[in-house]
Structure 1
């Protein structure tokens, strides 16, 4: 994928995408992986004749897949992105364990598949959910999360999306660093965790990651 100045990159998902963005400011990208991607692309643009696409962050903390569906028209379609990145799934798992709110995987997969199939973008990128357990209780979440991740992969591949395996990237990093350095609560990345996701995204679309 070759980005141009005419591209609009839109990112939608949960709090990991949101990352504290100012929702009153359309230009706010938060302090997470979306911001890290923008930093890299803008730095490249300053050093030579390379594109600097428009970037929009539509992450919203707490979202599950059906929340994305409820705002898809206003928060995705209306912006007419050329590259759409979707990261969703961990809250569909989390809410089962902390609030007793199930998100059955067949319904989850069907909803995500419909969204990806109706995406207005020429290029799709899907980031897998991940978990680096911070408590013994979180270890049990994999019973729900692993088949949900498989569902995300099936939905993504059915639409020919680029896939960013955040679960693999962070698990690999946790072999050399403590999980708390990457995601202190097991779910939300540290600045380093966000940087790793950003670099994986850049690699997936053949854009040069930060050194």
Structure 2
């Protein structure tokens, strides 16, 4: 029987640093690879110290560059044309401070690029879309999102912005449908999506029929990813937090269960992993802390403080 030969897919990778060096390309790919000049708008660069000896040996440098969002800035570089094997070699070369994500080049072309592994650390203009928890319900201080806004803007008052567009009661389907029309005047470089728990809800009445919101999670996330790409923004998805099922069995005609919330968590995390999208897990901070949930679902001010503290730890 003749073996099936799998053809390598072509990939385009935007490079602005050491991967443009033919010596590095030869060390990684066995030869210099085809490339063409390219530019990435909305970003600048900053130095990143490197400690991995193999990366230092290949590049000859112990400081590389990483991308940072900045409105009006442009990074000049090149698009490298790679095979599957080349792309895997490039992934292995990059240190853990980088992750491969989709970007939209100044030409309108879509390409891979290596971005800061901490998505909020490199952000400047963040749009938050989501539900009542992202909105900050049950917290007069505005919830974790308001705390994130305060610290983010304080770090760079002139250049940083946070726009919280969360709407209580929203499903991920709602967010995917409503978000495109809201982005243009806000010029986001990062879209933080914190929704989905309402998609996991089931009607209390056994005779009441409703579509299963979990079945549409992947479609909604794909739609949001396309919207983010159109604006050259980075999509960051926040997973569901732990809930106290004992107190959510009759919530405005709905019931929220841990089993459904965990199914949502796994579905979102899997989709993000498969599509190279940033996922921030929020399950653990409040797990077992029923006293920090006002109604079993919405955190109180201390709960929101803990959620923000966890988000901050993922950004440093």
Is TM-score (shorter-chain normalized) higher than 0.5?
yes
Please say if 1:31 is aligned against 2:142: yes
Offset at residue 158 of structure 1 (A)? 3.3
> Is the contact made by 2:180 and 2:227 (CA closer than 8 Å) also made in structure 1?
no
C-alpha distance in 2 between matches for 1:155 and 1:80: 26
Partner of 2:192: 85
C-alpha distance in 1 between matches for 2:284 and 2:294: 17
Unpaired runs of at least 5, structure 2: 1-65, 72-123, 250-254
- Identify the match of residue 187 of structure 1 among 278, 291, 297: 297
Offset at residue 12 of structure 1 (A)? 0.4
Partner of 2:135: 18
Offset at residue 143 of structure 1 (A)? 2.9
Pick closer, same or farther for the CA change 1:169–1:163 going to 2, 3 Å: farther
Pick closer, same or farther for the CA change 1:169–1:52 going to 2, 3 Å: farther
Offset at residue 81 of structure 1 (A)? 0.9
- Identify the match of residue 61 of structure 1 among 157, 164, 168: 168
**Structure of higher CA gyration radius:** 2
Please identify which structure carries the higher strand content. 2
C-alpha distance in 2 between matches for 1:76 and 1:205: 23
> Is the contact made by 1:134 and 1:185 (CA closer than 8 Å) also made in structure 2?
no
Q: Secondary structure at the match of 1:56?
A: strand
Q: Tell me which moved more, 74-83 or 187-196.
A: 74-83
Please identify which structure carries the higher helix content. 1
Partner of 2:264: 148
Query: What is the root-mean-square deviation in Å for CA atoms of aligned residues?
Result: 2.9
> Is the contact made by 2:128 and 2:165 (CA closer than 8 Å) also made in structure 1?
yes
Query: TM-score scaled by structure 2?
Result: 0.52
Q: Deviations over 1:66-85 (max 9, x none)?
A: 11122121123553310110
Partner of 2:237: 126
Query: TM-score scaled by structure 1?
Result: 0.74
